[in-house]
A and B are shown apart, each in its own frame.
Chain A
Amino acid sequence: MSLLNNKIIIDSNIFLDVIGGFDNNDSLKSKEVLKKVEDGIYKGIVIAPCLTEVYYKIADKRDDLIAKQIIKNILSMNNLEIVPVGREESLKAGRIWSKYNKGKKRDKWLSIVDCLIISIASLLRNVPILTWDDRFNVVSDAKIINPTYI
């Protein structure tokens, strides 16, 4: 798939999939995509709160030491930009939260971090979001790509 400027916003689940190192095609696909980022084929973007998600998932299951080590590795990754979240992005994420979550069952909700990702994707002029999370399928504010199709 051809991407505008070759930029992609990478969701937390892609990193967690690689960290898990599972023996299946989807996890291998996650690895392949991150390798392409590392090799400069794609320019990877991660929003800072995704680092929080990866951190707490690891820290919750194991401990802070390994969580820190993993985050340190992600931050060292070649060709990966960490984008901070500011006022404009946060407020837009709030509107996105209302748009997609109001009136829906909680298990269908996009998380706050999901909303921040969508907000930043649209503010970056529709840089696509790479995610395995099918709750993004309802989103029309940003282009969503399942790693299978990249």
Chain B
Amino acid sequence: MQGIIIEKDRIQRRFEDQLEFLQLWGDLQKKMRVIVIKETITPIKELNTTLRIKSKAMEDEFLKDIIPIKKSKGIVDKLWGLGKEIFKSREEIFEDEFIE
């Protein structure tokens, strides 16, 4: 389990929406070990920490949603034509260069 050191009270004050903070805080504690400290070195570092926590929590949420629970059959049939409206032609897949 990943861990993070955090100065909770000061970060909490930065959030205008306290409900948002509490939800984020709850999610964070479920996902990693949180050690609360009282001192913050500089306000800028504190703000960076806040942003990092936010993006980490959002990333975890994104990945949790994408990781499948189990393997199954019948997926190829599901995939077939799912992007029919996305690609106008087969050539479009092959002519577009993949990003180098």
Contacts and interface: CB of A to CB of B under 8 A. Distances in A.
12 contacts: A17-B90, A18-B80, A19-B82, A22-B87, A39-B73, A74-B79, A76-B68, A76-B75, A77-B75, A78-B72, A111-B98, A111-B99
B23 interface: no
Contacts of A107: 97
Given A34-B76, A38-B75, A76-B68, A133 B94 contact: yes
A62 B79 CA distance: 16
A60 B90 CA distance: 16
A84 interface: no
B96 to A, nearest CB: 8
Interface in A7-53: 12-13, 15-22, 24, 26-27, 31, 34-35, 38-39, 53
B83 A19 contact: yes
B19 to A, nearest CB: 25
B90 A68 contact: no
Contacts of B78: 73
A66 to B, nearest CB: 8
A53 B82 contact: no
A133 B93 CA distance: 11
Contact of B86 (A18, A39, A62, A74): A62
Contacts of A77: 71-72, 75-76
Interface in B63-77: 65-68, 70-76
Interface of B: 62, 65-68, 70-76, 78-87, 89-90, 93-94, 96-100
A111 B68 contact: no
A73 B75 contact: yes
A68 B79 contact: no
A72 interface: yes
B79 A58 contact: no
Nearest to B74: A38
A38 B76 CA distance: 8
